[in-house]
Amino acid sequence: MAFEEMIEVETVMLPGEDGKEHEYAILDDFQLDGKNYMVIAVIEGDEIAEEMELLRYREEGDDMIFDIIEDEEEFQRAAEFYDSLPIED
């Protein structure tokens, strides 16, 4: 019998392209140039999708406001910075 380790992850509900709310796993977050970024992946059933998304966010009171990074240069800088971070166990 195979043993599968269950891990707990923080999640956030965000609207998808279809206009419906979807649950996303928060995989990581980091700061760069005074801005906050978060790496998320949609949860499909009991699985976390392999495709990750990178968003910018800001906190307003108790709320987190997420922004799609439309500036390609900012996205590239943030993605390259994230890729350079050490992997934590």
pLDDT per position as a tens digit, 28-83: 999 999 999 999 999 988 899 999 999 999 999 999 999 999 999 999 999 999 99
Across 80-89, average pLDDT: 86
Higher pLDDT, 61 or 5: 61
Judged by phi (left if over 0) then psi (alpha if -120 to 50, else beta), residue 13 lies in: beta
Residue 3 has pLDDT above 80, yes or no: no
Question: Closest by alpha carbon to 52, among 84, 29, 19, 71?
Answer: 29
Whether pTM exceeds 0.85: no
Secondary structure (3-state) at 58: strand
Residue 5 has pLDDT above 80, yes or no: no
